[in-house]
């Protein structure tokens, strides 16, 4: 696959428009989801003493952003959807940066942790190495990146109005290790179900320097 800049702009615009058009319904459908296991997986591997500086990448309407702030951490959201960004600011009271996932402008060595919950699967495989390197660079030395993505057989393309790439564990590992991360843990969600009923692959990674 050889996506040009115009293709990437189209992917971003159409995917974000999908969320903008469904922002209220998305919020109603996800605000009560329990992702405490994922939050604990990120925080549990961060070294040093809290409070931690956390970037909630693709923070959506701000559910997890508010949870991090409520735990006493310094949480900043990053969101491409205009409506989600506004909702996140209102719901969490936190700072939210509105940025295109394919054109990030991140400070160097700013964050102890990056929480990428249900967002990186929107990145085409072609662009994933670059974006992972940018996330590595915004982490402090030995910082932690948490990701949770729907997994699959490494297929990618349009799915109900959104672009998605659905990697298996081994492929995801190759992307992450090539970007300078070492694996800390991985697991499938939701907890307690047979694997065929666990669509989400969660993993935590340490940024090596």
pLDDT in tens, 158-191: 998 999 999 999 999 999 999 999 999 999 999 8
Give the mean model confidence (pLDDT) for residues 29-42: 89
* Cα Rg, the chain, nearest whole Å: 16
- Measured in residues, the chain has a length of 209
CB atoms near residue 174 (< 10 Å): 12
According to the model, what pLDDT value does residue 185 have?
98
Strands 111-117 and 53-57: parallel
Give the mean model confidence (pLDDT) for residues 4-20: 93
Residue-range domains of the chain with CATH:
5-207 (3.40.50.150)
According to the model, what pLDDT value does residue 28 have?
84
Please determine, for residue 203, whether its predicted confidence score (pLDDT) is greater than 90: yes
| DSSP SS3 for 31 | coil
Helix (H) or strand (E) holding 6: helix 5-21
Q: How deeply is 153 buried, as exposed, middle or buried, from its count of CB atoms within 10 A (0-12, 13-18, 19+)?
A: exposed
Q: Which of 18-32, 164-178, 195-209 has the weakest average pLDDT?
A: 18-32
Q: What is the pLDDT of residues 47-94, one digit of tens each?
A: 999 999 999 999 999 999 999 999 999 999 999 999 999 999 999 999
According to the model, what pLDDT value does residue 129 have?
98
Q: Tell the residue number behind the tokens 């699967």, with chain if given.
A: 121
Extended strands (E) in 52-180? 53-57, 74-79, 95-98, 111-117, 139-150, 155-159, 162-166
Alpha-carbon gap, residue 14 to 12, rounded angstroms: 6
State the Cα angle at 94 between 89 and 95, rounded to 5°: 85
Please determine, for residue 95, whether its predicted confidence score (pLDDT) is greater than 90: yes
């Amino acid at each position: 696959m050889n996506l040009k800049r115009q293709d990437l702009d189209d992917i971003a615009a159409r995917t974000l428009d999908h969320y903008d058009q469904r922002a209220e319904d998305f919020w109603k459908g996800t605000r009560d989801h329990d992702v405490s296991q994922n939050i604990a997986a990120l925080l549990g591997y961060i070294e040093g003493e809290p409070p931690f500086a956390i970037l909630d990448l693709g923070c959506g309407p701000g559910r997890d952003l508010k949870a991090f702030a409520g735990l006493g951490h310094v949480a900043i959201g990053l969101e491409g959807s205009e409506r989600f960004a506004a909702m996140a600011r209102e719901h969490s009271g936190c700072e939210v940066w509105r940025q295109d996932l394919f054109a990030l402008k991140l400070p160097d060595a700013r964050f102890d942790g990056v929480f990428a919950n249900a967002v990186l699967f929107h990145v085409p495989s072609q662009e994933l190495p670059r974006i992972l390197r940018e996330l590595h660079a915004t982490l402090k030395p030995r910082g932690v990146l948490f990701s949770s993505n729907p997994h699959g057989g490494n297929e990618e393309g349009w799915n109900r109005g959104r672009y998605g790439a659905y990697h298996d564990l081994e492929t995801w590992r190759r992307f992450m290790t090539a970007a300078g991360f070492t694996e800390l843990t991985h697991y499938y969600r939701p907890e307690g179900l047979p694997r065929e009923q666990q669509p989400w692959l969660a993993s935590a990674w340490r940024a090596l320097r």
